[in-house]
Amino acid sequence: MTRLSLAYLQQRNLSALQRFAQGGLTYDAFRDLALVERSQRVETARVVRQALEAEQCAREAAMQEKLKLACEQAEAARRARERDPAYIAKVKNQKLRAQYGVDTFIEQHCFGRFMKILKSVDAGRRLQDEDVVWLSTTAEEYFSEELRAAYHRLEAEFFSSEFARTSDPWMAVNASSHYRKCYEARKAKALLDAIDIDQQKSKKLKAALWTTRGGVMRDLSRWEEALSLGERAHAVRQDDYRPCTLLGAIHMETGHYSLGQEWYAKAIERGATIKSVDQDVRKIFFQADSAKQAEMRAFLLGEDPQRYAWAKTRVKPA
């Protein structure tokens, strides 16, 4: 055998085979000694394997203990955090903001006042006028659709209760306006159904009642009734822009765009702002289906491509 082969046998502790290969043992002696060596190797391997298994078990037990300790510490931290008044307030604020669709970052200088407003609305309390002005100007980006609806619902309920208490038709007009803005036109209709408009003596009140009732019918897609009521209101108060705005909106929604623009122009002549009229048109446009939007887009861009440049978009902007 080569020196390298002999070295390998020695390295593997095959001494009986090494001696036999070198002629130092007879075959019978080699066989007996090799059996003994194999038994020793098997035993050694068993001991080593048990030691490794014991070591692995110890490592796993230590890891489990660390995990258990970490879980206990995390649970203790969670319980402590949930008992922390600051954390409790934070979670409540987050839930309240989610409830009212306010998912944007709130500037620090606005946060306190805004959360106070949210809590007030959530508790069913009406907002102060200055808070409504603040929401409509400085904090407009936080005045979400859900918050607006909640605000208008509170106002509608207040004026509705005042109408029930005083029978003052102006309270019904105010309630109807707010019901419409929180998408509860049917409640507005039920309220106005209790009033005989023809029996009212004030032309201003008649016009207001016909206009707001016309708006309700518009919301309910009862177009002919809405047009008739708007026209009656305009006939009584020709200097009031509100019936004109109503008629403009109805004609725009029913596809009579030129007529709609004529009535909007009359509304502006009587005191409506171009901004409010354009906002009305934008709202009608973005609430329309794609086919209707295509019609309106072509008309508006043909009328004034700069003024109505926003109509080029095909979806409602964020």
pLDDT tens-digit readout, 278-305: 999 999 999 999 999 999 999 999 999 9
Instruction: Say if 109 falls within a structural domain.
Output: no
Among candidates 167, 242, 175, which has minimal Cα distance to 204?
242
Domain end point (choices 83, 112, 138): 83
Instruction: Say if 275 falls within a structural domain.
Output: yes
Rg of the chain's alpha carbons, rounded to an integer? 42
Give the lowest-confidence range in 80-84, 104-108, 218-222.
80-84
- Measured CA to CA, the distance from residue 244 to residue 247 in angstroms comes to 5
Judged against a pLDDT cut of 80, whether residue 98 lies above it is answered with: yes
Domain end point (choices 50, 83, 116): 83
Average pLDDT on 206-228 reads: 97
Q: Is the pTM for the entire model greater than 0.85?
A: no
Instruction: Say if 309 falls within a structural domain.
Output: yes
Instruction: Say if 255 falls within a structural domain.
Output: yes
Instruction: Say if 120 falls within a structural domain.
Output: no
Domain end point (choices 67, 83, 99): 83
Instruction: Say if 128 falls within a structural domain.
Output: no
Instruction: Say if 69 falls within a structural domain.
Output: yes
Domain that includes residue 272, residue range:
205-318
Burial of residue 242 (CB within 10 Å: 0-12, 13-18, 19+) is buried
- The count of domains in the chain is 2
CB contact at 8 A, 277 and 242: no
Instruction: Say if 55 falls within a structural domain.
Output: yes
